[in-house]
Amino acid sequence: MTLRAGQEARVRVAVATLWTRPEDVRPVDAPALDEQPDICAWVFGMDADQQVGECVLSQMLLGERVLVTEVRPDGWAHVVALEQPAPRLDPRGYPGWVPSGQLVPAHAVPGEPLVVDALSTDLRSAPNGEVVLPGVVLGTRLTPAGPAVDGWRPVHVPGHERELWLPEAHLAPVPTRPPTSEEVLAVARRLENVVYVWGGLSPHGIDCSGLVHLAWRRLGVRLPRDAADQATATTALTLGEERPGDLYFFARPGRTIHHVGIVTAGPGSGRNMLDACYTRRRVNDAPLSPDRVATLVAAHRVA
């Protein structure tokens, strides 16, 4: 089905990458550009410097809604990711480019969605059947297509006429109440040791604000995608009042916020945080380094 500018579409692949411009894509990015992208192969096919290249803006998960704003004849679409607030860039959502083949026109599907709670799961043609869509990740919302059968749940999937199946244990209800700090930290800690990838938003590779966005997204809270916007959307605390589950924000003098982490131990215990660390190139839980202490500008709480 043809995409058109001005219409909504949905992501039809497990993880779609949002790019600055088609012209910025590198040869090493080929696995992420296919109509069935292999994000794991893409991440581990890059060296450490390529993993922090700034041609990637963000990523979108299966079923995520976008507004198509331009379609090019060379197979690229400019979109606004409607589920990733980015008020400094576009009041509608996060803008960027994606291969057109990774999208399908949006159609409403009735029913209350469930959220993927496994770090990664495969969607199959039948219970324990052939893998049709591998690598569906934590935080993805899927609408049930019927009751569970022998521990497997059928779901509607954009771009597939027939329902696909995954283990029912890999799904959870979308929370209807604000999460506790313990719940947020439990989700975020499951991503420890995930490799740092600039713009990443999955357990295959993630960046600092992506970790915050995804942890709360899994628990039903939609935070902005970028760190500076996350600061604007949360409640400032007096430094010293923070507790585990709050956020630390960092900036250099005269500059905008460039980093965010989740507090795991407050000032009385030496200030630790869980973050996707650019220098360590991993998600890790550690005391604030001297550079982090020097650039710590705020502690905030997600209301």
pLDDT in tens, 109-147: 778 899 999 999 999 999 999 999 999 999 999 999 999
Task: Give the pLDDT of residue 1.
Answer: 66
Spell 51-72 as b/e; 16+ CB within 10 A means b.
Answer: bbbebbbbbbbbbbbbbbeebe
Q: Are 27 and 66 in contact (CB under 8 A)?
A: no
CA distance 297 to 99: 38
pLDDT tens per residue, range 8-41: 999 999 999 999 999 999 999 999 999 999 999 9
Q: In whole angstroms, how far apart are CA 153 and each of 100, 110, 118?
A: 29, 16, 14
Please tell me the distance from the alpha carbon of residue 224 to that of residue 63, in angstroms, as a whole number.
Answer: 18
Task: Report the candidate in 115, 104, 117, 183 with the shortest Cα–Cα distance to residue 155.
Answer: 115
pTM: 0.96
